[in-house]
Amino acid sequence: MMKNGNVIREALLENTIRLIGDCGFEKATTKGIVSLGIDDPNIRLNEVYIYRIFGSKELLYSEAFSVLDKELFAFVRNSAANFFDDPCPFVERIRNLFNKLWRFLLGNECRCRCYVRFYYSAYFHEQTLRKHRELLDSQESVFSPIFKDEADVITIIHTTFMTLMDFAIRVYNGDIEDNEDNAYHIFNLLYYSLSSYFDPIVLEGRRKSER
């Protein structure tokens, strides 16, 4: 690795996320990415670094998405860490989890826009789908205790997560307001769409192991 390679790598990733999130792929050229600069005044970014560190602009895009993917799913996992130790009724625990995720998404507009733009682009299927599926698989053990044994937990996680993302984008775009009423309606839509998959034992406030 070149001198200051890790610092340069992080700067290129963050610049890529910022440009794709704020302006879309058409503005996220190699020249545009390096033009955003770096916090360290002793380092000057150069387009050569993109190819030296990542191999291509497309692989830089892919790695930037992976950064967001890991970041977002880590937040999901951490937010659900104490779910089964919470004494609140099941629906309240689900609502608390939803509120954490919802506020996180609405507080990270640029990163969420970048995530969605990449996810629906050709780059996702060509470069990043395998890594994304591996991350989804890693979430199954976190959430499977909530659902019936026959439920397709991976599909449920994926669909719920992307639905939340899509609603967040609608808030960013001004299509719906960021207020408590809309958050309440979005939660109810998600909760009742999932209700048939929840394990009855868990709904009663018990664990599956207590059967």
DSSP character string of 55-71: SSHHHHHHHHHHHHHHH
Amino acid at 152: D
- Show pLDDT as tens, one digit a residue, over the chain (211 residues): 467 889 999 999 999 999 999 999 999 999 999 999 998 888 899 999 999 999 999 999 999 999 999 999 999 999 998 888 888 899 999 999 999 999 999 999 999 999 999 999 988 988 899 999 999 999 898 899 999 999 999 999 999 999 999 999 999 999 999 999 999 999 999 999 999 999 988 887 666 555 5
Give the three-state DSSP class for 125.
helix
Closest CA to 101 of 85, 79, 70: 79
Under 8 Å between Cβ of 178 and 94: no
The token pair that represents 30 in the structure block: 């190699």
For residues 91 and 89, give the distance between their C-alpha atoms in angstroms, rounded to a whole number: 6
In one-letter notation, the amino acid at residue 166 is D
pTM of the model: 0.90
Q: How many CB atoms lie within 10 A of CB 145?
A: 15
Residue 163 corresponds to which amino acid? T
Cα–Cα distance for residue pair 85/96, rounded to 1 Å? 13
Tell me if 12 sits within 8 A of 54, measured CB to CB: yes
Residue with tokens 């996320």: 17
Q: What burial class does residue 7 get, using C-beta atoms within 10 Å of its C-beta: 0-12 exposed, 13-18 middle, 19+ buried?
A: middle
